[in-house]
Structure 1
């Protein structure tokens, strides 16, 4: 059985929410019901970066 870790699930969910909000951290924090600083901390912890705009 190949189960994902909680860290992997959190990263995937955070990435999905950020993509849905166009990387608007304030909107993401409201959807996730956590503070903006917590969202920023999680972004750093998971090494996430916004996509390059073309």
Structure 2
């Protein structure tokens, strides 16, 4: 899901057809994804329903 809650995929988020991803974790156990295509980092959160 993107920031607006719409379904998406990493190709759309990174803006490239090829997505080279790296994953990381912070000290509190938070999960992050880095896209080498555009240098952006995303924090992975639980999906919620409003």
TM-score calculated relative to the size of structure 1: 0.27
